[in-house]
Amino acid sequence: MADLNAHFSKKQLACRCCGQLKIDDRLLAGLEALRNQAGAPIIVHDAYRCPEHNEQLGGVRDSEHTRGMAADVNIPGRSLQQMYELALQVPQFAGGGIGAYDGGFLHVDVRDHPSRWARVRGQYVGIQHLIEDPVPAAEKARATRFA
């Protein structure tokens, strides 16, 4: 049952250890936009984390999760590449953070600057280790037309 907006509930976004909830409105709007872009439900693995839970998970000290500005998500039936490309179409995430994880999920956040990364076998690396740079649609169309 959604109670924060049309598709997301407090339970989905609250801290998994204590139930506290802090969610930035931009994150909620971005998640809704991502769901609309995908045309399918999104699984939220993790959103707000209290500082204690963040530490237990090995999260960075100043994690956007602890400020209610981040979520780790998966869109069933979509590849990591497809999820990344969808997230890039959401202004809140395109202007913030998008991380690809080898566990098959994306971290999306609404920080105040663009940041991209991947996490492979526990190590933070460049996004190109998991994601191909998406070619803009217009460029794809030109390439197809002249092929």
Which domains, and CATH codes, for the chain?
A: 10-145 (3.30.1380.10)
| The length of the chain, given as a count of residues | 147
Q: How confident is the model at residue 110 (pLDDT cuts 50, 70, 90)?
A: very high
Q: How far apart are CA 16 and CA 73, in angstroms?
A: 14
Q: How confident is the model at residue 5 (pLDDT cuts 50, 70, 90)?
A: confident
Q: How confident is the model at residue 2 (pLDDT cuts 50, 70, 90)?
A: low
From residue 115, give the alpha-carbon distance in Å to each of 6, 52, 88, 110.
28, 25, 11, 10
Q: Which residue's structure tokens are 């991947």?
A: 118
pLDDT in tens, 20-59: 999 999 999 999 999 999 999 999 999 999 999 999 998 8
Mean pLDDT of 74-95: 97
Q: How far apart are CA 139 and CA 75, in angstroms?
A: 26
Mean pLDDT of 64-88: 97
Q: Shortest CA distance to 71 belongs to which of 129, 122, 120, 7?
A: 7
pLDDT in tens, 125-140: 999 999 997 755 444 4
Mean pLDDT of 62-84: 97
